[in-house]
Structure 1
Amino acid sequence: METPPKAGELGTSSSPPSPTTPAVPDSFEEKKANIEKEATSVSTAQPHDQDQDQEEGPEPVLERWNSSSINVTRYLQTLLAFLVMGVSDASLGALLPYIEEYYNINYTIVACMFLSPFAGYTLSAFMISKIHMRFGQVGIAVIAPTCKIIAYVITCVHPPFPVVPIFFVLTGLGNGLEDGAWNAWVGNMENANELMGILHGAYGLGGAIGPLISTAMVTKGGLHWYTWYYVM
């Protein structure tokens, strides 16, 4: 009968583990800690990979103003809209002395007409998003000029003075809708800085020629102030 090997001899359980043998956790808590550590390292690596994928994604293709004949027509229409906007805003101040004389009121009262476009612009800030989401750019292109046409038609018939500032709110509303919508559209196009400069240059051109033409009609042509709004 063979005697069992003594402690320390080859093959006994008391020999130290080989350096290449993975260490076995001594307790359940140590296993749990290792699992949590691995899960944490994986979760912290995922956002970095997602951000890297997003950074390496393709850049969005910007719309060009001359990519099609439709876009060219639309951009030219925005230039016309800003030209009319500048004419409308600038001519009002030039006509104030003649409006004051026609209605026989003082300058303080007639200057209240400057508040009407301001009120319309403020109103457009609260309405433009809803109109754009409901009717799109076509809705803006129809509603804004319609508001201004209504105001100009009422002004042409030269009603009592309190009526004129009330309906001039519609001019500010129409200008504000066009201003916000067309600036946003052109601002998202390729070469937006150059296109926006031309767009606002059209407004400046309207602001320059509006007072010249309106005052010439009154002073040189001998027409009443409200005949200017037949032109508008």
Structure 2
Amino acid sequence: MSVPPEAALVAALGASPAPVVLWWRDDDAGRDHPRLASLLALAERRRAPVALAVVPEWLEEACAARILGCPLATVLQHGIAHADHAVPPGKKIELGGSADHAALARDLVRGRERLAAAFGARFRPVLVPPWNRIDPDLVPGLPALGFKALSTFGRRRAAEPVMGLRQVNTHLDLVAWREGGRALSPEEALSALAERVRAYDGEPIGILSHHLVMGDAALATLDRLLTLVQDHPKARLLGMGTLLGEARW
């Protein structure tokens, strides 16, 4: 008889020799949207810190006010304008492709300054590349542009890819983009997280959501996942500020 996914996650957490550190990132914020309101309400209900990847060029005043009204939300920088500069047949990319690197650097700084002005201490100088892609040649220059960390998707290659730049990745995407952008079922999400926990090596496990494409069922899955994590004594759901200040990986 197979073990139910919920029980498998609880068992994996319980079997971990050390507390498992997790964090939550939500992408594509900037416009005031009912689904963003629902996501922030979930964060408050579950006492779950959420790092919102905000697109500087999308930022609306009402959205900024909504985010600032949620004490558990911090803000990361989601590229510049979420514009695709891919050279066919390459995959979508904003921070690379046909874009001029000097222009990208200039616009990244402007975006960082805009978010810092809008969110103050709630902003963390962490770069989240749209589509989780960035030209490797741009990475060494990120500290000089004012960024303290880089966050993409997948397991890290190095805790500090270049001097002065931490890497804080996500690992469990709650949306199956290769299947038309459908949301993972509760069973899929819980099973995938249990697998990550069993392979835990000290790197914080990042949960990735996308409020713009998540309906009620997807939010319910996220709610269930967060509840299990928050209620388990071996799990630690941390905010980005804590990760940047205390992580030693």
Structure with the bigger percentage of strand: 2
Q: For the pair shown, which has the larger CA radius of gyration, 1 or 2?
A: 1
Structure with the bigger percentage of helix: 1
The alignment's TM-score, normalised by the length of structure 2, stands at 0.25
